[in-house]
Every structure is written in structure tokens, then in C-alpha cells.
Amino acid sequence: MPDDKFDSIIVGAGPAGVAAAITMARAGLNVALLERGEYAGAKNVQGAVLYSKMLEEIVPEFWKEAPLERAIVEERLWIMTKDSAVLTGYKSAKYDTQPANCYTIIRVEFDKWFAKKAEEAGVSLLTGVTVDDVLKKNGAVVGVKSTEGDQLFADVVIACDGVNSILAQKTGLHREWKSYEVALGVKEILALPREKIQDRFALEGDQGSTTEMLGDVTKGMMGYAFLYTNKETLSLGVGCALDDFQRTNIKPYDLLEEIKRHPLIRPLIAGSKSVEYSAHLIPEGGYNSMPPLYTDGMLLAGDAAQMINPTHREGSNLAMASGRMAGETVIEAKKRKSFTARSLGLYRKKLEDSFVLKDMEDHKDIEDKVRKNREILTVYPALACEAAHEYFLVDGMPKRDHQRRIIRRIRRERGIFRMIKDAMSLRHAIG
């Protein structure tokens, strides 16, 4: 084995790793893709929503062959209290196209297919291999070492080993994440007959809907719950900042069970059968937590580099795009025969010119603002529900009195001045 040298070794056969692998293999590079699971996807957990555009850039017309669940035509946001919700969202027949804007997927099925595309492109996929360290020569990364002691060498290592990445730490690019830089998500796959899903969510054929839920469902913790429709299953889960779980001692699985019993969620999942329970960390630190993205002989992509945009529920597409750009960078570096940090710096430039870093930078302060004003997560949902409740209640009281009640309530709970301050502070955080 020691004489083997690849053009590039990618650690992690998830969306970032496979995207990088396919990109380089197509340019004729000799690529090894290492995966610690028994098969690609074995260790991965996601909501899961797949965004077409970024996949199309790697596998054109993917919709003809990729294992997709439902084409999302409806995106819902529910602002909830323990028994009520203000339901908002957008549904459009215009999203029912080929390809659709986004699809729900079953992560393991998708990863298996995606990794197979990499093999078809000539990538050497090695599963059941856990990398636990990088190999260095004169300060530059020159390969990786597995837990079994095997050594593999390459011009560039691309670390796509996810939120629990150890490679970036081994190279000194960053220390461990702090508990406020990650969220813990737990999830269940609930089996439900196709017709029931279509009826309950008013879907035709393979159309699908997503629902994100804010408010009491997370018991004052920062985070949200989600409910996505797959062909014959539902994905129901909740994710909260890990430091909130630390602080409150709320058990993640208890929280999920309580969500299942919520009067507005219960009827949607009635009669379903749990077929899988899973959990994973999600990077939440955003732009401010991003480690340096490259060093001599190594690049970081995807979750390993904190590339998540939680405000927009995006991550796997940032992973695919950054993986592709990492692959393109290595192709260029190979032409120059230079794999130093200076040469690999092209990676950062590509990311900066793309939506990846632009979006991450634009959203870098939101979480912090919400953290500092946690009441936003509890006070506003309660106010919104009470205002709506009062508005629709017909009890003989004149409308003007209903309105006065709402205004008085708002004044007491938050105050108009503070509400304006909240809106301004969030506006700065987004723009």
C-alpha cells in the first residue's frame, strides 16, 4: 500500500465528498474516496431535502435516475404554542416541474446512488475505512492513516468527514466545536400508506410538502421541528442548540415523543409506524465558526467546514457545491503542480464568488441575535397565536374591543418599542 499515490484522497462519501470525487475523476484524476460506514450513507442523517440545482451541476438530468421521494410544492412554517399555531407557507403548482426546486430524499438511498455515480466515473470507493489521522511531510499534508494502520498518500486530501470531522483538528485548523456551535437533531421515519400521505397533505401523485415548526415545540430551546413527506413515509424530527440540551436536561427522545402528541401534529401522523430512529449533530456556528478552509495539501468542504445555513434549511447543497469547487481547485493545482496553501487558495476565492460564502456571511449574526434575545422564540409565537385567536373569535364582543385586547396584550408582553428594536436587530443580521 505505501507506494500507492492518488491525485486526491477524499475522506467521507457524503454529498461533499462524492461531489469532489466525481468532479476530479471526470477530469482524469486518480481519486480515492474513503468511507467509514459499511456503505455510503450508513452513518448519515438528514431531514432530508435535496436541492436540485447543485446536484444538477454534478449529475445532469439526475431526476431520471436518482432515488427521489417527493417533489416539494409546498413549504410551510408553523408558529406554535402548545395547542395552537399560526400557519404560514407557500404552495405552488409552479414548483411541480422536472426537475423540481427541491425533493425530499431518503438519505441512505441517495448516498448509495450518488457514491455509485462516483464509482462509474472511475473513483476508487473504499468503505469500512475510518481515517484517524493525516500524514504530513515538511508541514504539508501528504496522505491519511486509517485506524487499522494503513497509509494512503495523495497530492491533496479533501476532508469531507462531516460535523464530527477530526481531520481539521488533526491538522490544527481548528480545535473542537463548542456546544453552542452545534445543534443536536433527533428524527424518526414513520411509515404511512401513500394515499394517506396524499390525502392528509393534499398532494397529487409524487408531490410533497415540508413543514418547519417554531415555538413551544422546542420548549424554549433554540431550534425547530420538521415534518417532511416522503413517498410512503414521513420524516419527523427536532433539532435544538446543544448547549440548550445541556442546560435544560431535556431528553431529545422525550421531546420528540411530546411533539408527536401535539394536537396539531398528532392527526398528521396518526396510524403511522416508526421504522427508524436516528440522531446527528448539525453545525450551527455559521460563518463566525468556520475554520480556515485550506492548508498545504488539504481542503475542507461541507459540514466539516461548518457550511450550514440554518435560516434557510440548507446544508447538503452547500456541501455539494463546496465539494465540486474543492475538486475544481485540485484540478487547477495539479496543472500548476503546486499543492501549497497558496495554490489551494483558489478554493476560497471560488466559494466567495458563489452563494456558499455569500449566504453564510449574510447570515452570520442571526443566531447570535436570537440567542441574546431568546424571548423572541417564546413571546412572539404566543403573541401571534393570541392575536389570531382573538381576531377570529366571535363571542359577541365588538371588534374594536377585540382589537384593544390584542394591542394591550402586545404592549404588556413586549411593548411596541421593543418590537421595533427586535425587527431592526434582525434586519441587520440578515442584510
Partner 1 sequence: MSEETKPMTLEEKLGLLSYKNDHQSHIKVLDAEVCLGCANKPCVTGCPAGVYTWDAAQSKIIVSYENCIECGAARMLCPYNNIEWHPPRGGFGVSYKYG
Q: Is 166 in the site for partner 1 (CB under 8 A)?
A: yes
Q: Is 108 in the site for partner 1 (CB under 8 A)?
A: yes
Which range in 59-67, 94-102, 175-183, 336-344 contacts partner 1 by CB under 8 A?
Answer: 175-183
Nearer to partner 1, 200 or 405 (CB): 200
* Contact with partner 1 (CB under 8 A) among 118, 281, 325, 377: 281
Q: Is 367 in the site for partner 1 (CB under 8 A)?
A: no
Q: Which three cell numbers stand for residue 255?
A: 421531546
Instruction: Considering only residues 211 through 240, tell me which ones interact with partner 1, judged by CB under 8 A.
Output: 233
* Contact with partner 1 (CB under 8 A) among 260, 313, 369, 389: 260
CA atoms within 13 A on the CB side of 133: 8
Q: Which three cell numbers stand for residue 283?
A: 453545525
Nearer to partner 1, 163 or 301 (CB): 163
Cβ neighbours, 10 Å, residue 377 = 20
**Using CA atoms in the order 189, 191, 193, 194, what is the torsion angle rounded to 10 degrees?**
20
Nearer to partner 1, 244 or 314 (CB): 244
What gap in Å lies between CA 316 and CA 308, rounded to an integer? 8
* Contact with partner 1 (CB under 8 A) among 87, 250, 388, 429: 250
Q: How far is the CB of 46 from partner 1 (least distance, A)?
A: 7
Say whether 177 sits in a helix, a strand or coil: coil
* Contact with partner 1 (CB under 8 A) among 27, 77, 135, 279: 279
Contact predicate 67/61, CB 8 Å: no
What gap in Å lies between CA 228 and CA 235, rounded to an integer? 5
Burial 161-172 (b: 16+ CB within 10 A, else e): bbbebbbbebbe
Q: How far is the CB of 226 from partner 1 (least distance, A)?
A: 15
Give the phi and the psi of residue 272 in degrees, each rounded to 5.
Answer: -85, 160
* Contact with partner 1 (CB under 8 A) among 146, 211, 289, 317: 146
* Contact with partner 1 (CB under 8 A) among 232, 257, 353, 401: 257
Instruction: Considering only residues 23 through 62, tell me which ones interact with partner 1, judged by CB under 8 A.
Output: 36-39, 41-46, 48
Residue with cell 366571535: 394
Q: How far is the CB of 188 from partner 1 (least distance, A)?
A: 8
Length in residues, the chain: 431
What gap in Å lies between CA 95 and CA 306, rounded to an integer? 29
* Contact with partner 1 (CB under 8 A) among 61, 65, 97, 128: 128
Nearer to partner 1, 190 or 387 (CB): 190
**Close Cβ partners of 367 (under 8 Å, ≥ 6 residues apart):** 222, 284, 285, 286, 310
Q: Is 111 in the site for partner 1 (CB under 8 A)?
A: yes
* Contact with partner 1 (CB under 8 A) among 18, 21, 154, 186: 186
List, as one string, the DSSP characters of 217-260. Answer: GGTTSSEEEEEEE-SSEEEEEEEEEHHHHHHH---HHHHHHHHH
* Contact with partner 1 (CB under 8 A) among 70, 107, 219, 262: 107
Q: Is 245 in the site for partner 1 (CB under 8 A)?
A: yes
* Contact with partner 1 (CB under 8 A) among 21, 242, 259, 356: 242
Contact predicate 111/40, CB 8 Å: yes
Q: Which residues lie near partner 1 (CB under 8 A)?
A: 36-39, 41-46, 48, 106-109, 111, 127-130, 132, 146-148, 163-164, 166, 176-179, 182, 184, 186, 188-189, 233, 242, 245-247, 249-253, 257, 260, 270-271, 274-281
